[in-house]
Amino acid sequence: MILHDLTVDIPRTAITALVGPSGAGKTSMLRLLDRLDDPSRGEVLLDGQPITTYEVGALRRRVGFVFQRPAMFTGTVADNLRIAVELGGAHGSEGEPVPMDRILTAVELSPDYLGRDATRLSGGEQQRVSIARALMTRPQVLLLDEPTSALDPEVADRLLATIARVQQKYGISVVMVTHRLGEARTISTWTIMLEGGRLVEAGPTEQLFTAAATPRARAYLATAD
């Protein structure tokens, strides 16, 4: 999806939901935030600085990305967490990665998961490991592309609660694509709605869901469960 004339701010240390119908440009926008794609014109800023001025490795240490379907490397959970540091190094004032057992505890997996075969975990467990792996470099921003789409409702609800706790614990900015409006309303404090590659409306989540300014946003968000 091509994005058109998109200018929007993403608040710090909050959970922002990207919503909109299929093909709206949600994942396209998310990919721009981590330089998985670059815009043909315009720029993306992080801390007021164009992200193209960061060395790619340095950017990826600051901005973690969790894909829709978790991809585990062959080996143990510890191997999967270690590779994030080996490839990206650590970011942050302490200059060291977060201890693995502490990261697993943050995503509500016990430290004994470190020795388990990552490829044999359940879908929900793998998604938690994916989040833990993204947190290993102490990012400022965590990008999530429909992290619950392949999970059943009960597992999805537990993962959402984990994401909220991780955001509060580490004080990071979370940007999450979701097609589930009820999920967006529950977890986020800020919502951005896209359609056809354009911004429809952005603002505090509860305000958008109860009193959106644009007719299109009101109509679409009214379909939330």
Domains and CATH numbers, the chain: 15-221 (3.40.50.300)
Distances (CA, A) of 165 to 108, 158, 162, 213, 220: 10, 11, 5, 31, 28
* Pick from 190, 173, 175: nearest CA to 13: 173
CA 90 to CA 95: how far, in whole Å? 6
CA 6 to CA 37: how far, in whole Å? 15
Per-residue pLDDT of the chain (225 residues; tens, 9 = 90+): 688 889 999 999 999 999 999 999 999 999 999 999 998 889 999 988 999 999 988 898 899 999 988 899 999 999 999 988 887 655 544 455 678 999 999 999 999 999 999 999 999 999 999 999 999 988 999 999 999 988 888 989 999 999 999 999 999 999 999 999 999 999 999 999 999 999 999 999 999 999 999 999 999 999 876
Backbone angles phi, psi at 39, to 5 degrees: -70, 150
pTM for the whole thing? 0.91
The pLDDT of residue 61 is: 87
